[in-house]
Chain A
Amino acid sequence: MALISAEFYSECLGRGTSIYAVIPEKGEGKPNKDGRYPVLWLLHGASDDYTVWQRNTSLELYLKNVGIACIMSSVDLSFYTNIDGGRYLDYTTQELPGICQKMFPISGDPADNFIAGLSMGGHGTMKAGFTYPEKYAAMGIFSCANFIDLNVQMVPGGMRSPLNFVRELVFGTIDLDLAHGTEHDNLWLAKNAAASGKKLPKIFAVCGTNDGSHDYEVQNIEYFRSLGFDCMFMDSPGGHDFYFWDQWLPVFLQWLPIRQGGIR
């Protein structure tokens, strides 16, 4: 596998940004008949950046095992949302795939595209997958439930503290209850996706039993299942950390519906 770090300008973000791309080298992986690899869009959590998955897990080893490419991006504290400070959802779901499909031998076929993330990246995964179910064959939700239902308390430091300030910047309100039935409500987005008649991505979800999101996530998955999503939920003792995510990442990758494209 080749590890590529790339810096380029994003129109959606109005500035330069960085990504990691892991691309199978010649003779590795499972390219489709066009010689292009299935690809996982792997999203980071709040306060993280494009480097964390690569640094804190054996990602590259696991990817090599299943033979697919992976792209990791940086979205700051945006919750993968289009906000005044940048169109992060558009960047994640449209601009970045467009740039990467041109630069790298990755497939643009929805059947070869998967999206996953941890914590805020799980939020982004649901947001992207439920807003554009036609773009992805599968979603991976690590340690995340519908954020606006989690009753997350303000942190010390007042409104200028980034984790508080982000509520206004992203959700437009301090009172997250008001975000129900909007684009910030992943259950609402899921309902719309199910009602759209589009082919729905498969869902893999996992959460540590010591994670505060655990019971919420169980309920969310039950709800998605009731909407007609094909869901797999797993848990094990563990918290909200990379010890847990590194254990489950290879399981998720094994679960992915990767097509056997045959070597060109």
Chain B
Amino acid sequence: MKRLCCTILVVYSLVVHAQEKDTTSASLQEKVTELKEQADGLNEQLLTLTPIVDALKKIKISGYIQSQFQVADADGVGSFAGGNFAAGVHSRYQVRRGRLKVNYDNDLTQFVLQVDATPGGVAIKDAYVSLKEPWTRTFGLTAGVFDRPFGFEISYSSSNREAPERTRMYQTLFPGERDMGAKLEITPPETSPMNWFNFKAGFFTGMGPTAQENDNYKDLIGRAGFLLPMRDAGLEIDGGVSWYLGKVRSNQRAVYKMDGDAKTFAYDSTVANIGSYFDRTYIGADVQLYYEIPVLGGMTVRGEYISGKQPGTGGNSATSNYSSFYNVAGTALYQRNFSGFYVNYVQNVGLSNQFIVKYDEFTPNSDASSNDIGATTPVGKIALTAGDLKFTTLGLGWIYHWDSNVKFTIYYDMVTNDKVNSSAPAVLAAFKDDIKDNVFTARVQYKF
């Protein structure tokens, strides 16, 4: 009986176990099918989402903010280190730049819009369309508002530039860096034996990014550049030559040109000057050398020289909005030959530190010496002004890269002006000595 009971129990337990096993196996199978269906569903969703994500990936948003504190040598000084100080002020906080850039990059076509939003207002910096032909991918066309294709310093982004500001020369000749126009670009692909060469040139209004066109003359601006990498030696030399062939129209008869012998301006009041065009022509050369100093880190030496003919006003040789300026009494067209250059040395130390030495010189009137400014003016001639005075700036700085987004810069601009003639009138008296206009800048930048 015992044996029978045991046998029944064993058989029963085996049957139950087998049934449980079947049930477990069936439920597992069900689970697998369910998961597979879920995975298929997710896969379908992924296939739907992929083209959307791919399209969104073409939209690239970037930007940076530069916030800074500055101290000048004296109240209310004129400065190229972020603009003049207000009267009675020698220290200030500034949001120097607040850029937001949207780029829709469709490989061969691009849409770019960049704004600069600061407490001073919102301004459009870039607004252009860029196209590249699909066959050789060598020729490109850009139209809208964008950097003038001249030299090196214009196109070197303010977020990357080591010195806080561009040189006095560049700020005078190319305020705002951009202009409205269209350019052709030749950039051979990297596989081409001509990939060491690049060329860009275009026609622009000459008025800057926002001013209305005031004449039918378009300025031709261009640069032919080269890249000579010697990677085995850790060395690269880049450079180029640039030209600006433009004209400005005078809307009044008074025009002042340098009299080289008398070292003063000569007044020309011919009626035919009204509506006539006057040269705005520059020629420039730039070179950049990159080299790695063993143990210390990478270094670069950059230099640039520009000379030419610049139309300005009596007190200032800066490029301005020519559309109405010359209609205002006392601000007639003054033509000057100018020259200027800078040399910039940057040394990286380790991952986080960069040291900067930058020297620049700008001679707005290369036909006169500083001693001619303020000297007795011959009868019938027009005196030189502070706008003809040469300035040099020696800048020393240190950058600390906190991480890949944040960097701190401290920089000291030591500005020196040439001294005017000792008999200069009261209006020029301040320039008999070096004016107190050095500026210390402490800046933090966030870039993404």
* A and B interact physically: no
